[in-house]
Structure formats: C-alpha cells, structure tokens
Amino acid sequence: MKNLLLSFFTYENIKTTEPKAKMIKSEIEKIITLSKKGNLACRRQIIGKIGSPAIANKIIAKLAPKYKDRPGGYTRIIKIGQRQGDNAREVYLKLV
C-alpha cells in the first residue's frame, strides 16, 4: 500500500486494478486533507504514511494549495477495461 501511495503522489496518477484503487483512495483523501493544515505534526504524519520526505514536501507545497477550497473528493477512478493476462479490471486513479 505504501508503494502505491508513493507512486500515486510521484506521478499524480496510476494505472492499477480496481480493488487496489478503491483501497488506497481513502488514504489519498486523508493525506491531502491532512496536508492542508501544513504544520510540522501533519508533515511528520504524511512522511510516516508515505515514507518519503521529498514527496511529502511536494504534497504540502503543490497539492495542498490547489485543493484548499475543496472539502473532499480529490481523486477519480476511470475504468479502462480488462487486463489481458488474468482478466482483472483495470482503472486509472487520478487527481481531480
């Protein structure tokens, strides 16, 4: 889960299976809401969840101001079809 979060915040969108996207969507929402406070305690909590201080700085500096007036719903799931090998449903998970 930590790797999915790190990849998502690095590229701001990922292609994954639908259950994984639904699993990390709530964590992404919590992290962005937490980053809007911007204090040191929140920064440390974000680093604990993601594991990268550089990405935590990116979230607080870039994403938090972008969503400061939005109360929630920062992500969207776009279904793209079935995966060839195991027929799993794939989706794009993107920021709004």
Integer Cα distance of 65 and 82 in angstroms: 36
Query: What is the pTM for the complete model shown?
Result: 0.91
Superfamily of domain 2-95 in the CATH hierarchy: Ribosomal protein L17 (3.90.1030.10)
- Domain positions in the chain are 2-95
Q: Which residue shows structure tokens 């969507």?
A: 25
Instruction: Name the 3-class secondary structure at 77.
Output: strand
Confidence band of 90 (pLDDT split at 50, 70, 90): very high
| pLDDT tens readout for residues 17-66 | 999 999 999 999 999 999 999 999 999 999 999 999 999 999 999 999 99
Residue type, 8: F
pLDDT on residue 20: 96
